[in-house]
Structure 1
Amino acid sequence: MTNMPLRLFYVDDSGAEITGFATFSWIEFLVDEWKPGLRHVLDWRKELMSSYQIPTLYELHATKFANGRGNPSLDEEWNRKKSNRSLVMDECVKFLADRPWVGMGTVYSQTTLRRVPFAKERARVYQELVKLIDARLFAAGEIGILIMDGDGTDDSYISAHRSLPLQTRSLIEDPIFQHSHRSQWVQLADITAYSAYQHLLQHDSKRFAWSWYPRLLSRDVLGGALKV
């Protein structure tokens, strides 16, 4: 196993109980791409600072950012114009689409379940994600580690990993939890997840975001969002 290539997966969820969508999206790459990839990300964040006065360490949380919350820029005039956010989100999508070493994907379900049953359905979708990634790793002769946005208080995430059959298990260890404000990679996974959800939801008020995920299809290892 020590000679197997190691692939990293950064995962975030999206969707909402009120719409019935439970979605999980991820970005992935081989561990050898981590250091040069982070250099690309940080250089791009410096460009955002130069062009829009958005500090490198400011969290690009898609839901808050795209919907006009917070003050991402040091330029108060820029912050007051909501359309500026869409321009930056367009650049985020372009950055991801232009990275040939990045893969990504989305799994989802849409249900009429609510409250506890919806939470269970969401956990089921995550389990399907874990099974799918594990099967891909096994077929490719790779091992993988999954880094998830959050604090790890939801035990269903860990249970999904531990339910994998050990004989063929290639997604090793429990998920590693990392808050998005501490990780550029998790923020990019968040942007991917938000883009996928808005593409699936097709709400009129978010029409500006409908095209973001289709622009990422060249990076989607599944060829599009997969209903599970």
Structure 2
Amino acid sequence: MVGFCHLRMHFIYIDDSSERPTHIFSAMAVPVSRWNETFLGLKQWRTHLRTIHGISTSYELHANQFLSGRGSLGALNTISRHKRAQIFHTSFAVTEWLLSFDVRVFNVCLNDDRQDWAFERLLNRINRTMHAWGSYAHLICDEGKEEHYTKMVRRMRVFNPIPSNRGIWDDTGSLTRNITLDRIIEDPQFKSSARSYFIQQCDFLAYGLLRKERPTPKTKRYGIHKSFEQLDGTLVRECNLRDPYGIIR
């Protein structure tokens, strides 16, 4: 009789938000075994928005456009800017509630105009965390940089020099060690954000962190710069113990 091993696995949904020189990626790790529950949770949130605010469940929630009301083709005409800001704020409480399905959130923020480096930092932390969790990851990203990101992941599977946080690696005396992405499987998958509640949620997370890092007078007026601070248990703080939110920097 053939035995079967129970392999742990996570889907990692990723989206970004940028305002040069700041580049941010937010990633939502969803255990495959709890994907159905998590999806139903997000679907309930979207059903609530339709019932209470008339926002169609098929309407794409894109943070910048949602908050400004631009490009909505009338979908947000009856919702005031103040109410849209409240909905945006509440979406972070929804993400925190997803902890009940073991959903976790990674965030990276770099202020040196190196978007590729920010993405690499995120992938390295995801890979290291999958080792700690005894799991594997499959990446699901927003459309737009399919070829570029796929090449990056493939390269990092073969060649991924990591510097030691002590200056040199004790066992070899080398400045770097080739620690490949052995816990991220297959090429990244790319989906239109319009067709993924998960990617839309990551878009809100990334924009919320952007406005926490770089608030504007308008976002401060509506409290948007504080939305990210609702996150607690969902945050993978082990990514950076020197940052109160575990943000990779």
TM-score with structure 1 setting the length? 0.86
Please tell me whether residue 185 in structure 1 is matched to residue 198 in structure 2: yes
Measured after TM superposition, the shift of residue 213 of structure 1 is 0.8
Percent identical among aligned pairs is: 22
RMSD: 2.2
Distance in 2 (alpha carbons) for counterparts of 1:15 and 1:106: 13
Please show how residues 62-141 of structure 1 align to structure 2 within 5 Å: 62-71=63-72, 76=77, 78-79=78-79, 81-100=80-99, 101-111=102-112, 118=113, 121-141=114-134
Please show how residues 139-150 of structure 1 align to structure 2 within 5 Å: 139-150=132-143
Measured after TM superposition, the shift of residue 9 of structure 1 is 0.7
Measured after TM superposition, the shift of residue 75 of structure 1 is 7.2
Specify the code of the residue in structure 2 equivalent to 1:10: Y
Alignment: residue pair count: 215
Instruction: Note if contact 1:108-1:225 (Cα within 8 Å) is conserved in structure 2.
Output: no
Instruction: Note if contact 1:196-1:225 (Cα within 8 Å) is conserved in structure 2.
Output: no
Where 2:121 maps in the other structure, the secondary structure is helix
Identify the range of structure 1 (133-142 vs 176-185) with the bigger mean alpha-carbon deviation: 133-142
Structure 1 residues 74 and 190: alpha-carbon distance in aligned structure 2, compared to 1, 3 A threshold = closer
Residue 114 of structure 1: aligned partner? none
Please tell me whether residue 197 in structure 1 is matched to residue 189 in structure 2: no
Distance in 2 (alpha carbons) for counterparts of 1:224 and 1:13: 17
Structure 1 residues 54 and 73: alpha-carbon distance in aligned structure 2, compared to 1, 3 A threshold = farther
Distance in 2 (alpha carbons) for counterparts of 1:53 and 1:15: 29
Please show how residues 204-223 of structure 1 align to structure 2 within 5 Å: 204-207=217-220, 208-222=223-237
Instruction: Note if contact 2:107-2:247 (Cα within 8 Å) is conserved in structure 1.
Output: yes
Measured after TM superposition, the shift of residue 33 of structure 1 is 1.2
Structure 1 residues 175 and 217: alpha-carbon distance in aligned structure 2, compared to 1, 3 A threshold = same
Measured after TM superposition, the shift of residue 55 of structure 1 is 0.7
Specify the code of the residue in structure 2 equivalent to 1:53: G
Deviations 1:18-56 (A, max 9, x none): xx1011111112001111111111122111111001111
Q: Which runs of 5+ in 2 are unaligned?
A: 159-179, 238-243
Where 2:150 maps in the other structure, the secondary structure is helix
Residue 226 of structure 1: aligned partner? 247
Residue 160 of structure 1: aligned partner? 152
Where 2:15 maps in the other structure, the secondary structure is strand
Instruction: Note if contact 1:54-1:73 (Cα within 8 Å) is conserved in structure 2.
Output: no
Specify the code of the residue in structure 2 equivalent to 1:104: V
Specify the code of the residue in structure 2 equivalent to 1:221: V
Measured after TM superposition, the shift of residue 151 of structure 1 is 3.4
Residue 26 of structure 2: aligned partner? 25
Displacement over 2 Å in runs of 4+: 1-4, 70-76, 151-154, 163-168, 202-205, 225-228
Distance in 2 (alpha carbons) for counterparts of 1:128 and 1:202: 24
Distance in 2 (alpha carbons) for counterparts of 1:69 and 1:23: 22
**Structure number with larger C-alpha Rg:** 2
Instruction: Note if contact 2:146-2:190 (Cα within 8 Å) is conserved in structure 1.
Output: no
Deviations 1:101-134 (A, max 9, x none): 22102111112xxxxxx4xx11111011111101
Residue 115 of structure 1: aligned partner? none
Instruction: Note if contact 1:55-1:72 (Cα within 8 Å) is conserved in structure 2.
Output: no
Please show how residues 29-44 of structure 1 align to structure 2 within 5 Å: 29-44=30-45
Specify the code of the residue in structure 1 equivalent to 2:216: H
